[in-house]
Structure 1
């Protein structure tokens, strides 16, 4: 018996339905109302409140905000910590070498940018949207696409109260179908609806596969004597070395709070690599430890980062809707910035949709949006840096700094990339090697002062899932983790998950695979990195997941 036959849902009609109250979705909603206050707009947010699921570094390039709300300062946007000191280091185990700023292309300069909490920026954007009479529904997870043939007609949102086996429980609420003349998908990285749409409509055909990193972040309150408001530090090198690409950020924010983050590119080969423990080890580097000693960690979180850039942008519009921001993959990897492009994508989509609605169109492709992204500011931002990531992946850190830097410099000066367009090649899942071909890595035990075990840290993400609901981490074949991933890859899910969701437990009948979905911080790494591509991340019921206060 199909769910579609059994479950009847009420429906609501809107001009534009937006899935996700991040910078892309909220910018789109605001811009639509700026153009025409009569446009009927709804924003659906799976987090318990706007900002609850937002995690970003973040040093914000204000170009998107300037375009959306030019008087944001006067309106009290939480964007006030301007970058005053910009530093880049290559780390060794016991020391560091500072890379001077002068040889770097101007696009790498952070002066004029702001250290922010994007969660708080999104809360403020939501206030601006609501003042324009945008309807925003937090705690409303959009769990299904409503299809009309190959046209996206709307989404199902607010379904709650399912039993663990997926059948309706005693408190079941079927949710509603929200239909839109256009549906904007702004779920963030590797969202379940975007994944379905991209696959079904073959939107990535002719483009490189998307690439990803896993970003982990802690907020620390440090000794006021060590705090330097507006200071930005980025590092590369130790502890990752040749095991993986990636690096760190340390941002001195406000109120003696320092944002400490670590990114590991997910195309690493050694399945024994443990990204979370690489982050914890990083904090014991003398330069970092000196800053954090005597301080207190107050928050933790993790999320995947889209890293494919220009080559990996799929077709952005389809019949009935568009992909915005990180749902499409608009992060500038060397700058570690994507929020400005997410906001610009929302603006461009809103302008294309408003023009279509004014012309009495509905449900068709907003090709003007594709053209605006591929010929506008987002393209200018991403094209200049398009070869840095693939050079790094293929040749390593130092060639990437040299060749990638050369390519960025020439592109910055002329608009032309002398190295052409390098390809990414394999997906991150396919890049995973066999366990027998790589050495195991010995990680020090966390000391409980600078470094922490995963479960202790997950408590600082304030994550909660109703345990009686179905597990939202779906295995296509439940036998694969033990029959394939364990003998071939030493089941890397035990390590690549930054929240301790996956365990292999030895019992009298042999090993079994356990999923602790209550711990999930919605980073989507499992959906990306599982070498058998056996894990499908789906959205849990609305309001569940992390509750980030100011990430």
Structure 2
């Protein structure tokens, strides 16, 4: 193998990913010790470019990190003023009284926000403290010391063509070396996946579970706008056996964020999550809000949903997992940003203490201990059964028992034991001939849109001639196995139209990967039934460019 010569830069702490967790860790490190050298690497073209969330944020972690955030101009401009919960049917809606919902579901004191803009603001705070932030630097490789510990990452490799050969603009990238490396890549990051596997961090835990979240940002007519109103629905269009739900948040400036989350343990390979989202927008509860408005952005992202049972061991030799790289989303609340920020802060505190004591290289056991004694742990523990109960009992039974479990935790301090998740999401599909085909209405181009048209509103872009970042372990599997058994679900579960089964007269079907469409949601890496697709980072600065998402 060719030895690549790279320049190296050394830091006290290297952080991979400028989301809420990575930024909070960087800020906390510099708050503790301004002399620490901290490097933060982000694969998006700018901080916030790849951030996608609903989002209603609980400011509890931000209050701890930057207590005067209001005076500092943090973009939390829309306090929630009204919570609405509905059970939907195809043409009607039953509102669930707020009094029946466990108190933790109350959004009083929370804010409807653009999480991308919050990350952009956090980046300003980090840079003001001296954090070195490098956007457009994709981290493609983990570097290890001779003793097996993580010593850094390779970032910034560009100029390798589809054929694997170096092009004239080839750059070998740099080695960013840290006494500690914090992995904050978000859901199903490629480095986190390698590290979790290498160090067996998920051994003894339940398999991680995931959802696919799709979102559009709309500018609606002023008469349809209700700033601070938050709506969540369940039921139609997904039905009672497929887990998931929807959200509609009224932000400032006549903006509304609307989206659908589909749990990726669904069984029917004919399910087309993107088209379920488009169909949902025509519901009589929703369409009147959007009618006359305009969609201004679209995106999609996987969500970690395993929660309490699936959180892996958080530290490894040389570093730690923070935020959604480990999975701290509270599923019924549809919130994870507060937990991501707090885990970043706790890992930073553990790393700073180790460095101050001259214990660089020691495993960050104190981070794990801090987590187990934190409100993050309690936040996940009290909702730990909602997801597995829904998966096993369906919508009605699961929510009834899950609601009882949450109320018991609220009142008594304990619930109905700890339920298991069961199969990983890739193993849940039924063969196509044993599942009900689903017919979807054609998008009308005003409220609902075809997939490729919407992808254009994600701002995603990839150079054509580069090593394809969606890698097939065996190129024969899509047509040879997945097509005859599952009608190749990749052509439906991908929310960006990356995967196609091309049929031409007189020729056998062909599997095509349109990698330039990819919005970096990682669903393919999670849901492919053969686990044949590996999502790797493309060149830095590529992928979506989300505005105000």
Q: What's the TM-score once normalised by structure 2's chain length?
A: 0.99
* Deviation per residue, 1:154-174 (Å, 9 max, x gap): 000000111112222111000
Partner residue of 1:184?
Answer: 182
Partner residue of 1:429?
Answer: 426
Measured in 2, the distance between the counterparts of 1:472 and 1:291 equals 38
In the alignment, structure 1 segments of 5+ residues that lack a partner are none
Partner residue of 1:25?
Answer: 22
Extract structure 1 runs of 4+ deviating beyond 6 A.
none
Q: CA deviation at 1:91?
A: 0.2
SS of corresponding position for 1:528: helix
Q: CA RMSD in A?
A: 0.7
Q: Residue 356 in 1 paired to residue 354 in 2?
A: yes
Partner residue of 1:224?
Answer: 222
* Deviation per residue, 1:100-139 (Å, 9 max, x gap): 1112111110010000000000000000000000000000
Q: How many residues align?
A: 547
CA contact (8 A) 1:18 1:43 kept: yes
Q: Which of the numbers 387, 407, 410 marks the counterpart of 1:409?
A: 407
CA contact (8 A) 2:16 2:182 kept: yes
Measured in 2, the distance between the counterparts of 1:361 and 1:54 equals 34
Map residues 389-538 of structure 1 onto 2, 5 A cutoff: 389-417=387-415, 419-507=416-504, 508-538=506-536
Partner residue of 2:384?
Answer: 386
CA contact (8 A) 1:243 1:270 kept: no
Q: Which of the numbers 365, 368, 372 marks the counterpart of 1:367?
A: 365
Measured in 1, the distance between the counterparts of 2:490 and 2:320 equals 32
Measured in 1, the distance between the counterparts of 2:172 and 2:364 equals 31
SS of corresponding position for 2:285: helix
Measured in 1, the distance between the counterparts of 2:410 and 2:520 equals 36
Q: CA deviation at 1:150?
A: 2.5
Q: CA deviation at 1:244?
A: 1.2
Q: CA deviation at 1:415?
A: 2.4
Measured in 2, the distance between the counterparts of 1:131 and 1:253 equals 28
Q: What's the TM-score once normalised by structure 1's chain length?
A: 0.99
When structure 1 is superposed on structure 2, of 485-494 and 501-510 the one drifting more is 501-510
Partner residue of 2:44?
Answer: 47
Measured in 1, the distance between the counterparts of 2:535 and 2:95 equals 40
Partner residue of 1:277?
Answer: 275
When structure 1 is superposed on structure 2, of 21-30 and 103-112 the one drifting more is 103-112
Q: CA deviation at 1:427?
A: 0.4
Partner residue of 1:94?
Answer: 91
Partner residue of 1:257?
Answer: 255
Measured in 2, the distance between the counterparts of 1:66 and 1:414 equals 28
Partner residue of 1:244?
Answer: 242
CA contact (8 A) 1:153 1:363 kept: no
SS of corresponding position for 1:278: helix
Map residues 206-217 of structure 1 onto 2, 5 A cutoff: 206-217=204-215
* Deviation per residue, 1:207-262 (Å, 9 max, x gap): 00000000000001111011010000000000110351101000000100100010
Measured in 2, the distance between the counterparts of 1:289 and 1:118 equals 25
Q: Which of the numbers 82, 85, 101 marks the counterpart of 1:85?
A: 82
CA contact (8 A) 1:232 1:250 kept: yes
SS of corresponding position for 2:76: coil
Partner residue of 1:294?
Answer: 292
CA contact (8 A) 1:243 1:273 kept: no
Q: Residue 112 in 1 paired to residue 83 in 2?
A: no
Partner residue of 1:60?
Answer: 57
Partner residue of 2:158?
Answer: 160
SS of corresponding position for 1:286: coil
Q: Residue 74 in 1 paired to residue 33 in 2?
A: no
Map residues 332-351 of structure 1 onto 2, 5 A cutoff: 332-351=330-349
SS of corresponding position for 2:98: coil
SS of corresponding position for 2:503: strand
Q: Residue 194 in 1 paired to residue 196 in 2?
A: no
Measured in 2, the distance between the counterparts of 1:300 and 1:413 equals 40
SS of corresponding position for 1:396: helix
CA contact (8 A) 1:253 1:259 kept: yes
CA contact (8 A) 2:77 2:252 kept: no
CA contact (8 A) 1:12 1:177 kept: yes
CA contact (8 A) 1:53 1:546 kept: yes
Measured in 2, the distance between the counterparts of 1:361 and 1:146 equals 20
SS of corresponding position for 1:455: helix
* Deviation per residue, 1:315-363 (Å, 9 max, x gap): 0000000001100000000000000000000110010000000011122
Measured in 1, the distance between the counterparts of 2:436 and 2:239 equals 14
Q: CA deviation at 1:22?
A: 0.3
Q: Residue 541 in 1 paired to residue 524 in 2?
A: no
SS of corresponding position for 2:427: coil
